[in-house]
Chain A
Amino acid sequence: MPDIMPVEAPVLQVDDLTVRFRRRGMDVAAVNGVSFALARGETLTILGESGSGKSVSLKALMGLLPDYAQIEGDVWLDGKPVLELPPAELAKLRGSAVSMIFQEPMAALDPVYTIGEQIAETIVQHEAVSRATAMRRTLDLLDHVKIPSAARRMKNYPHELSGGMRQRAMIALALACSPSVLLADEPTTALDVTVQIQILLLLRQLQEEFGMAIVFVTHDVGAAAEISDRIAVMYAGRFVETATTREIMRSPRHPYTEGLLASTVHGGLRGRVLETIPGAPPNLAHLPQGCAFAPRCRHAREICAHGEVPVTVSPTGAMVRCVRAAPVPAQEVSA
């Protein structure tokens, strides 16, 4: 199912990715057929609420899920089939071709090594260079991520840095070996607004310099609008709509995207009752038949509860997974 087709050869291509967690009698369908492709220098944001499967998708790409996760589908990174690689090969890929940044930098940084040591270590691990060269490159990286007085900060331990500085150090670590793809899992969510915008601007600028593709995962419509070229809206483990940032923000086509934007509060809505999406997201252990959003959808019809939801792709590459967007089959149904 080609959701989106980039013009250039993709650095990352994901085909029909599914992830199920089966354990202790539980069967949770976290990701249910996600496909996308990403060109160099491009940013795709996966926008979704908690439990939509956005973080699980990212972790599957990095091979970071626990053993009991059943992963299916194809992931091609720089032409290599990620899901079929032996663990040693995969480890080599992580940090060099693809790397990841997280919401909580303390989870990615080792508390017992200085910032400089960890970044240099990564460079030495992946590239056969001397320690002195690695240290020089580390200093250069810290300058790039705009850590003030980088030479001094290199000798700091993670706990000695402020939240924003740690986030920058983690980004420097992730970019140490110039990956083709950077996976960003809610990297600005825990930050204050004045720091969040700094990190978003930094990522945009680093992308211009390094040319990597970014998959940015967030629940924040504002952050998505600031950073992405395209947005994929995720619900119950599926992309329900994918389009350029402008198309999503100006003319959303899926009822869930519409609802998500309408329920994003801003001052212009003062004194008015907020439009809400009724109910709550479905339990991934018991997904409804047909469209998973139908139980909360104000446009839902009988057809929505049965069978596969039609996928419509526009000439510009925008995708929407909804009966309403597919005019022909919809008429057949009402006839």
Chain B
Amino acid sequence: MNMTADPRDRGGPAQPLLLVNDLRKHFPVRGGLLGRQIATVQAVDDVSFSVRKGETLGIVGESGCGKSTTARLLMRLIEPDAGDVVFDGDPVGDRHGLSVNAMRRQMQMVFQDSYSSLNPRMTMAESVAYAPRMHGLPAKEALSRAEDLLAQVGLNPRQYARRYPHELSGGQRQRVNVARALALEPRLVILDEAVSALDKSIEAQVLNLLAELKARFNLTYLFISHDLNVVEYVSDRVLVMYLGRVVETGPVEAIYARPRHPYTRALFASKPTLDPDRRTKEMPLTGDPPNPINPPSGCRFRTRCAFAQAICAELVPPLAAPLDGADDSGAHLVACHLPHAQQVLHA
């Protein structure tokens, strides 16, 4: 990857662009007449990972696993309870590091709902120009940058710059959201289910666009999705989350070909086969993911895990190399106590 030319680079290609350590967010649940706290949603619980320069890190998991909360914590749209975020060597929100505002210039986000992400009373060009103007660019320059960006995302500015959100299709609006995310020339873009609401034929167009822009602007992506196929297609490395914790992480090939965590295996086995002659015969998991309010002790997956033993209820399994020693490169990590539960099953 061509990282040498970027003058914004500080620590060199070996230094992760983003380091996340023990990020935590627990939401209080209030109830009763007095509005006292009656429970806690452990939305994100001690999540750590890194994002390398120029890569795409995919985060997969089902609803309630904390993947979107993680994104919002990174952007400081919500305040974390604990944990550190380090952007290219600079601690974010630290007196000696990067202010939240400065971080947001380098890190931008695209959301799932293309419509509610845009101000309905602003034209496309105004929406894209808004952030550069707020960050001090003169109005005229901001507007010409916006038109240039609209062209970059495949929307002819002559045709689209003066349109309002309701005049565009979902795919076109999402292109505008991508343009807007790029307006401050960020280095990291968080894509939170950014293609999930689009029809398949449009989704493929936007995925191609994202790949093009990544190369053209030297971007790093954090790609959050529930769609296992899309994550496999776009990611270099993958993080699998379950009920607020990371259960497995590693290079995309390893995770998809040799998933180690019983949850990851069940998740992949739930994927429709696309082959009418090899239909799924048995359900890999029963029931829904449990409620993140007061999740199970120890390993959070144990209540649905076929291998669970006493230790799983007692101790939180640390994220570590697979126990059979087959992969000690440190790249592939799994949070599971039991060696036999980590066995790779060859179908």
* A interface with B by C-beta (< 8 Å): 49-50, 148, 162-165, 192-198, 200-201, 219-223, 225-226, 228, 244-246, 249, 259-260, 263-267, 269-270, 273-278, 280-281
Contact call A195/B288, Cβ cutoff below 8 A: yes
Which residues in B have their C-beta under 8 angstroms from that of A267? 229, 232-233, 252, 256
Any chain A CB within 8 A of the CB of B276? yes
Which residues in A have their C-beta under 8 angstroms from that of B233? 265-267, 269-270, 274
10 further interface pairs, Cβ-Cβ under 8 Å (given A50-B199, A197-B271):
A194-B285, A194-B289, A195-B62, A198-B285, A219-B200, A228-B276, A246-B276, A265-B200, A265-B207, A277-B204
Interface string of B200-230 (1 = CB under 8 A from A): 1111110110010000000000000011111
Considering the chains assembled together, what is the distance between the CA atoms of A222 and B270 in angstroms?
A: 11
Contact call A193/B277, Cβ cutoff below 8 A: no
Interface string of B55-69 (1 = CB under 8 A from A): 000000011000000
| Listed A/B pairs (7) with beta-carbon separation below 8 Å | A164-B287, A193-B271, A197-B272, A226-B279, A244-B276, A245-B276, A274-B208
Contact call A194/B270, Cβ cutoff below 8 A: yes
Shortest Cβ gap from B256 to chain A (Å): 6
Contact call A246/B277, Cβ cutoff below 8 A: yes
Shortest Cβ gap from A85 to chain B (Å): 35
Contact call A266/B229, Cβ cutoff below 8 A: yes
Considering the chains assembled together, what is the distance between the CA atoms of A245 and B283 in angstroms?
A: 21
Contact (A260, B272) CB under 8 Å given A197-B283, A226-B280: no
Contact call A273/B200, Cβ cutoff below 8 A: no
Contact call A276/B229, Cβ cutoff below 8 A: no
Contact call B226/A264, Cβ cutoff below 8 A: no
The 6 closest A-B pairs by CB, nearest first: A222-B272, A267-B232, A263-B204, A192-B62, A49-B199, A277-B201
Any chain A CB within 8 A of the CB of B275? yes
Contact (A194, B62) CB under 8 Å given A222-B272, A246-B277: yes
Question: Which one, B204, B284, B288, contacts A275 given CB within 8 A?
Answer: B204
Contact call B200/A49, Cβ cutoff below 8 A: yes
Closest to A266 in B: B229
Interface string of B215-255 (1 = CB under 8 A from A): 00000000000111110110000000000000000001000
Contact call B272/A226, Cβ cutoff below 8 A: yes
Any chain A CB within 8 A of the CB of B29? no
Contact (A192, B63) CB under 8 Å given A162-B288, A197-B272, A274-B208: yes
Contact call B232/A266, Cβ cutoff below 8 A: yes
Contact (A197, B274) CB under 8 Å given A49-B201, A192-B62, A259-B201: no
Question: Which one, A200, A265, A277, contacts B230 given CB within 8 A?
Answer: A265
Shortest Cβ gap from B204 to chain A (Å): 4
Shortest Cβ gap from B302 to chain A (Å): 16
Which residues in A have their C-beta under 8 angstroms from that of B272? 196-197, 200, 220, 222-223, 225-226
Contact call B285/A265, Cβ cutoff below 8 A: no
Closest to A148 in B: B287
Which residues in B have their C-beta under 8 angstroms from that of A226? 272-273, 279-280
Any chain A CB within 8 A of the CB of B297? no
Considering the chains assembled together, what is the distance between the CA atoms of A233 and B282 in angstroms?
A: 28
Question: Which one, B252, B256, B286, contacts A198 given CB within 8 A?
Answer: B286
Which residues in A have their C-beta under 8 angstroms from that of B208? 273-274, 276
Contact call A263/B270, Cβ cutoff below 8 A: no
Which residues in B have their C-beta under 8 angstroms from that of A192? 62-63, 226, 288-289
Which residues in B have their C-beta under 8 angstroms from that of A263? 200-201, 203-204
Shortest Cβ gap from A292 to chain B (Å): 14
Which residues in A have their C-beta under 8 angstroms from that of B279? 225-226
Contact call B288/A276, Cβ cutoff below 8 A: no
Considering the chains assembled together, what is the distance between the CA atoms of A276 and B198 in angstroms?
A: 13
Contact call B204/A265, Cβ cutoff below 8 A: yes
Any chain A CB within 8 A of the CB of B119? no
Closest to B228 in A: A193
Closest to A204 in B: B279
Considering the chains assembled together, what is the distance between the CA atoms of A269 and B227 in angstroms?
A: 15
Shortest Cβ gap from A63 to chain B (Å): 28
Contact call A260/B276, Cβ cutoff below 8 A: no
Contact call B270/A196, Cβ cutoff below 8 A: yes
CB interface residues, B 6-61, toward A, < 8 Å = none
Considering the chains assembled together, what is the distance between the CA atoms of A161 and B281 in angstroms?
A: 26
Which residues in B have their C-beta under 8 angstroms from that of A228? 276
Any chain A CB within 8 A of the CB of B296? no
Contact call A194/B267, Cβ cutoff below 8 A: yes
Contact call A276/B204, Cβ cutoff below 8 A: yes
Any chain A CB within 8 A of the CB of B157? no
Which residues in A have their C-beta under 8 angstroms from that of B144? none
Closest to A165 in B: B288
Considering the chains assembled together, what is the distance between the CA atoms of A244 and B274 in angstroms?
A: 14
Any chain A CB within 8 A of the CB of B99? no
Considering the chains assembled together, what is the distance between the CA atoms of A245 and B279 in angstroms?
A: 12
Considering the chains assembled together, what is the distance between the CA atoms of A25 and B283 in angstroms?
A: 50
Closest to A50 in B: B199
Any chain A CB within 8 A of the CB of B169? yes
Question: Which one, B63, B205, B256, B282, contacts A276 given CB within 8 A?
Answer: B205
Closest to B278 in A: A225
Considering the chains assembled together, what is the distance between the CA atoms of A273 and B214 in angstroms?
A: 13
Contact call A193/B200, Cβ cutoff below 8 A: no
